[in-house]
Amino acid sequence: MFPIQRPRRLRSNSQLRRMVREIVLTTNDLIYPLFAVPGEGIAQEVKSMPGVYQLSVDKIVEEAKEVYDLGIPAIILFGIPADKDIDATGAWHDHGIVQVAATAVKEAVPDLIVIADTCLCEYTSHGHCGYLEVGDLTGRVLNDPTLELLKKTAVSQVKAGVDIIAPSGMMDGFVRAIRSGLDEAGYIDTPILSYAAKYASAYYGPFRDAAESTPQFGDRRTYQMDPANSREAIKEVALDVAEGADMLMVKPALAYMDIIWQVKQATNLPVAAYNVSGEYAMIKAAALNGWIDEQRVVMETMTSFKRAGTDLILTYHAKDIARWLHEESMSTAKWLGDRAASEVQTTPVAPCIRTPGFEPLNPEQLASAPVAEETNA
């Protein structure tokens, strides 16, 4: 109790605050989303997401190299195919855009982890995440037939070099189906990062510009979760864990940190959060207008995600964060170097104390001194 307890004592300077900091953000926490398109030499900025681009495979490879050099361990690939159809052929074809991009990235940067978004909405002509009844205009996806498409897609993606499968369509039983398909194809060691609690959110708006995946009719509320529900998220998580998920994701992140916390408490699996396009766009718009300090707001937001319990963060800010962390590290290193140099200059040198009767050998005596033989003792 005051005045004995004064919490401000531990906030009195930057070094002390750094010593007692509970949450530390590092580049190891980051996953960078990339959008692959057909063609060559293409870098088309997404108007609603400043700094985010649709990239041809050659540009994806360049970006992957930069990401790796920044210390970010993973990317997640989304694909925009040249053609779309009701069977989502571009999702599972061996020469699909994600498959081609994944192969190219793994050849160029083999140690970079490549995650594939395993969904169908970018590849179907109607923009929904699976098969629909003929004539359906509501967007009610046929669950079980769609599972077969997801199995084919996952196997094709791993065959192309993908390291982690991330199914996002929120189909019932999709983790079990994909796990079964991967195991049958011999990919028993490929992890699944399940979009376990994915909400039908308005925050996805800009993403649909980037991925060109807006539904042509209806919406996705018959398969994505109601934003009002939290207990349902724990149910979805429990089902995915039982079906073989290796990691779990909550999407979106900013308005769902309570869900991140509950998921973290409910399981011992790694938890990821997707800092989605709408969250990114709001910060970018405010920063471009000079209303906020972009760096401070982004870093505070990421720290909040970790404080809520997330282990991994998918974010379009990843490259900026990596640069800011590097600058902070360099600043700290400079401070330590300056301090060490100062101590060397100001520390008095202890006098040499010579033992009576002892005279040091000169160089000629040292050269002719006998060398003791090695023993095996």
Residue with tokens 């003792």: 377
Cβ atoms of 154 and 167 closer than 8 Å: yes
Query: 106, 152, 198, 306: which one is catalytic?
Result: 198
The 10 Å Cβ neighbour count of residue 47 is 10
d(CA 114, CA 259): 26
Buried b (16+ CB within 10 A) or exposed e, 190-229: bbbbbbbbbbebebbebbbbbbbbeeeebebeebbbebee
In 38-73, which ranges are E strands? 43-45, 53-56
Residue with tokens 């800092």: 275
Q: Which residues, in sequence order, are bridge partners of residue 221?
A: none
In the structure encoding, which two tokens stand for residue 254, read together?
């900013």
CA distances from 27 to 69, 313, 326 (A): 11, 10, 9
Cβ atoms of 49 and 280 closer than 8 Å: yes
d(CA 224, CA 36): 24
Based on the residue annotation, tell me whether 251 is a catalytic residue of this protein: yes
129 closest CA partner among 146, 153, 148: 146
In the structure encoding, which two tokens stand for residue 63, read together?
């970006």
Q: Beta strands 193-198 and 164-167: pairing type?
A: unpaired
The 10 Å Cβ neighbour count of residue 251 is 24
Based on the residue annotation, tell me whether 59 is a catalytic residue of this protein: no
Query: 106, 151, 152, 251: which one is catalytic?
Result: 251
Cβ atoms of 358 and 72 closer than 8 Å: no
Residue with tokens 């074809």: 93
Active-site residue numbers? 198, 251
